């Protein structure tokens, strides 16, 4: 038909517009609704231009690049960017030695039970949630304060009571004090590592402890390959995981392992694992000695001293500091302290570090302690400088769960906090390289990098493909949490120190306010779009006024333009509803009302 009209040059008749019924509660109020919706948008919420390439205030200094010597070495030796010298393999899977795995199989067949996996999960959770026990003096002060408050509430005089009444009264008072202490203080019993508890601990912590300790020892070996220890002192040796880790890293170089642990059953189990699960066999690693007391101070110091997960077990701060002093006196080169990856564990590590650094002011030069890892400085942890925020500086280690634990995963990660102190200056080339202390955020053509720097500052930088040096961008894109960035920020501006500086506080407050405002406006628009589907204008006005009251509790509704807009809508609908009749809710497909 169309072809016929085209050949005859006669215009084809226009097709009639098809009518369709579309429900519209406000058929005459299209403009007021549009005006109402636009009035809800503030200046900061209106459609903006396309965002910039990356945050200008966080841009990495454009004149800073990878150190020239490091970059030249990487190019000459054809080292790929993902294997740059700052990579420390923090999150690399470190499986248990095959002999240790076979020994665990034999031990679990002899002494394990069906309920061991479930008990191991609960036991591990309790260890990860441990807090340092309160000092006796602080505990006594709390008890006295609670008792004083209870006496104010209950004004009964025990002296006027009979002996039986006084006994019951004092017993109830004691129970009330204990209940209040449990709610307000971290009271926990010391773990008795005897008998079957050692088997539960084996299943819960063996893989984790080995992976964490070996990761720390690997860092010493990677950053200082000339260090070859001939002996190691391990306090709180437990299952002997430090012995297995030290033997894996340095092999037969270490000829003596002095393992100290007061739990005799734990040392017996550690010796059994070294004997491959059979009591009549010799230990696969020679030169291991288990003791329940520390060596005498007259003995020669050890080049490597390791203390893992022991500080939180000490009953008071005085005991912890005495242990730290003893460990440092027994150290000739490196002291490794490891704790749980929690705020409590990090606090214990920082307490020990600050104590040794402050108490070494009168020590002769060359013997004073210096932080080897993870901090590139000897100052207080910058995360502790953030007020009213308990942020722990932790890292993660990957491990392979034991088959007997009934955890069917090939790889798991666990957090930990640690410090490695060296006697004398740290002369490695990467001593002042900043350290990545938070998970990297890789976006399109830029990455967010939060680093701890040599001057004790915590900085947040954005390394972009467009504005940063190309080698630096490639290295950062292939770095992970716990790695070092091979750059020298000595002469760099501190503009990126956005955590505890004044600029950092303002930047975070600005970001929080902006995010909150966007969320509130999004909720308002969602509510408005939902109200538009309601045909009853009275319900709309009531709901919207309730919403405005929640957002503006101190403001009167008469000053808000919402009421006027709603009145305009109401009057418009009322004035036109009489004329529209039954056709008020119908429109054609083009959006026009039918005539």
At 72-99, the pLDDT tens digits run: 888 888 888 888 888 887 678 889 999 9
pLDDT of residue 543: 63
Residues of the chain above pLDDT 70, percent? 73
The rounded distance, in Å, linking the Cα atoms of 331 and 232 is: 9
CB atoms within 10 A of CB 1: 7
Rounded-to-10 torsion of CA 24, 25, 28, 33: -100
* Across 308-312, 332-336, 502-506, least confident range: 502-506
Angle between helices 561-580 and 537-551 (to 10 degrees): 170
pLDDT tens per residue across span 292-316: 888 876 677 899 999 999 999 888 8
pLDDT of residue 539: 65
Q: Taking the chain, what is the end-to-end CA distance rounded to the nearest angstrom?
A: 31
Query: Do residues 588 and 594 make contact, with C-beta atoms less than 8 angstroms apart?
Result: yes
pLDDT of residue 337: 96
Q: Which two tokens stand for residue 351?
A: 């307490």
Mean pLDDT of 149-177: 80
pLDDT of residue 497: 56
Using the structure block, give the residue that is written with the tokens 């200082």. 224
Q: Which two tokens stand for residue 534?
A: 């309601």
Q: Which CATH class is domain 196-423?
A: alpha beta
Using the structure block, give the residue that is written with the tokens 């000490």. 314
pLDDT of residue 352: 93
pLDDT of residue 292: 87
161-165, 387-391, 555-559, range with greatest mean pLDDT? 161-165
Q: Which among 346, 361, 355, 347 is positioned nearest to 326, based on CA atoms?
A: 355
The rounded distance, in Å, linking the Cα atoms of 325 and 409 is: 41
Mean pLDDT of 571-590: 45
**Whether pLDDT at 555 is above 50:** no
State how beta strands 441-443 and 446-452 pair: antiparallel
* Across 148-157, 356-365, 430-439, least confident range: 356-365
Query: Do residues 233 and 295 make contact, with C-beta atoms less than 8 angstroms apart?
Result: yes
User: Which DSSP string corresponds to 188-225?
Assistant: -PPP---THHHHHHHHHHHHHHHHHHHHHHHHHHHH-T
pLDDT tens per residue across span 104-140: 999 988 888 877 888 889 988 888 888 887 777 777 8
The rounded distance, in Å, linking the Cα atoms of 139 and 472 is: 52
Residue 472, phi then psi, degrees to nearest 5 = -65, -45
pLDDT of residue 580: 43
**Whether pLDDT at 31 is above 50:** no
Q: Which among 432, 435, 448, 482 is positioned nearest to 59, based on CA atoms?
A: 448
pLDDT of residue 540: 63
Strand extents, DSSP E, 218-323: 231-235, 256-260, 288-291, 302-308
Confidence of residue 364 (pLDDT cuts 50, 70, 90): low
Residue 398, phi then psi, degrees to nearest 5 = -95, 140
**Whether pLDDT at 499 is above 60:** no
Confidence of residue 498 (pLDDT cuts 50, 70, 90): low
CB atoms within 10 A of CB 350: 20
Mean pLDDT of 313-327: 90
Mean pLDDT of 545-558: 53
Confidence of residue 267 (pLDDT cuts 50, 70, 90): very high
The rounded distance, in Å, linking the Cα atoms of 172 and 179 is: 11
Dihedral sign for Cα 520, 522, 527, 531, please: positive
The rounded distance, in Å, linking the Cα atoms of 384 and 449 is: 19
**Whether pLDDT at 513 is above 80:** no
Q: How far is CA 103 from CA 214, 268, 322, 405, 490, in A?
A: 19, 14, 36, 15, 51
pLDDT tens per residue across span 422-465: 998 888 888 889 999 988 888 888 888 889 998 888 888 888 88
Residue extent(s) of CATH 3.40.50.150 domains in the chain: 196-423
User: Which DSSP string corresponds to 6-20?
Assistant: HHTT-PPPPPPPPP-
Q: Which two tokens stand for residue 478?
A: 């292939």
**Whether pLDDT at 18 is above 80:** no
Confidence of residue 323 (pLDDT cuts 50, 70, 90): very high
Confidence of residue 541 (pLDDT cuts 50, 70, 90): low
* Across 210-214, 240-244, 443-447, least confident range: 443-447
pLDDT of residue 363: 67
Confidence of residue 20 (pLDDT cuts 50, 70, 90): very low
Angle at 320 between CA 317 and CA 324, to 5 degrees: 140
């Amino acid at each position: 038909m169309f072809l016929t009209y085209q050949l005859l040059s006669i215009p084809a008749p226009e097709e009639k517009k098809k009518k369709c019924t579309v429900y519209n509660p406000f058929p005459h109020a299209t403009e007021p609704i549009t005006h109402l919706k636009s009035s809800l948008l503030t200046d900061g919420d209106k459609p903006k231009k396309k965002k910039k390439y990356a945050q200008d205030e966080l841009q990495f200094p454009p004149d800073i690049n990878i150190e020239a010597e490091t970059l030249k070495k990487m190019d000459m030796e054809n080292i790929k960017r993902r294997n740059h010298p700052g990579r420390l393999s923090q999150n690399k899977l470190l499986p248990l030695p095959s002999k240790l795995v076979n020994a665990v199989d034999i031990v679990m067949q002899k002494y394990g039970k069906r309920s061991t996996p479930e008990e191991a999960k609960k036991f591990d959770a309790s260890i990860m949630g441990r807090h340092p026990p309160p000092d006796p003096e602080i505990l006594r002060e709390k008890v006295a304060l609670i008792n004083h408050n209870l006496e104010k509430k209950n004004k009964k005089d025990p002296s006027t009571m009979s002996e039986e009444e006084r006994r019951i009264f004092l017993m109830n008072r004691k129970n009330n004090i204990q209940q209040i202490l449990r709610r307000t203080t971290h009271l926990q019993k010391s773990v008795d590592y005897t008998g079957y508890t050692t088997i539960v601990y084996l299943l819960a912590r063996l893989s984790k402890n080995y992976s964490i300790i070996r990761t720390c020892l690997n860092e010493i070996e990677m950053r200082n390959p000339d260090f070859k220890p001939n002996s190691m002192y391990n306090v709180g040796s437990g299952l002997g995981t430090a012995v297995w880790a030290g033997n894996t890293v340095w092999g037969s170089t270490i000829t003596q392992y002095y393992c100290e642990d007061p739990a005799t059953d734990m040392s017996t189990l550690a010796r059994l694992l070294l004997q491959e699960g059979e009591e009549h066999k010799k230990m696969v690693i020679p030169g291991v000695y288990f003791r329940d007391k520390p060596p005498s101070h007259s003995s020669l110091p050890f080049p490597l001293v390791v203390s893992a997960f022991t500080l939180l077990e000490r009953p008071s701060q005085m005991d912890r500091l005495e242990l730290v002093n003893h460990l440092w006196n027994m150290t000739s080169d490196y002291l490794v302290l490891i704790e749980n990856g929690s705020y409590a564990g990090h606090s214990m590590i920082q307490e020990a570090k600050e104590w040794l650094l402050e108490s070494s002011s009168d020590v002769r030069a060359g013997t004073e302690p210096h932080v080897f890892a993870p901090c590139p400085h000897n100052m207080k942890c910058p995360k502790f400088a953030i007020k009213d925020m308990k942020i722990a500086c932790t890292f993660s280690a990957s491990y392979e769960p034991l088959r007997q634990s009934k955890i069917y995963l090939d790889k798991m990660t666990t957090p930990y906090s640690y410090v490695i102190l060296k006697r004398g200056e740290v002369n490695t080339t990467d001593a002042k390289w900043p350290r990545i202390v938070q998970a990297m955020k890789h976006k399109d053509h830029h990455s967010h990098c939060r680093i701890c720097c040599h001057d004790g500052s915590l900085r947040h930088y954005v390394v972009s493909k467009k504005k940063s040096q190309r080698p630096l961008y490639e290295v950062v894109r292939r770095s992970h949490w716990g790695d070092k960035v091979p750059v020298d920020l000595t002469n760099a501006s501190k503009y990126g120190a956005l955590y505890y500086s004044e600029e950092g506080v303002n930047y975070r407050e600005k970001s929080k306010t902006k995010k909150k405002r966007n969320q509130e406006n999004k909720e308002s628009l969602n509510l408005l779009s939902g109200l538009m589907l309601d045909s009853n204008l009275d319900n709309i006005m009531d709901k919207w006024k309730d919403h405005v009251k929640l957002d503006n509790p101190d403001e009167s509704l008469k000053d808000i333009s919402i009421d006027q807009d709603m009145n305009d809508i109401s009057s418009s609908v009322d004035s036109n509803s009489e004329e529209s009749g039954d056709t008020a809710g119908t429109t054609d497909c083009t959006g026009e009302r039918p005539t």
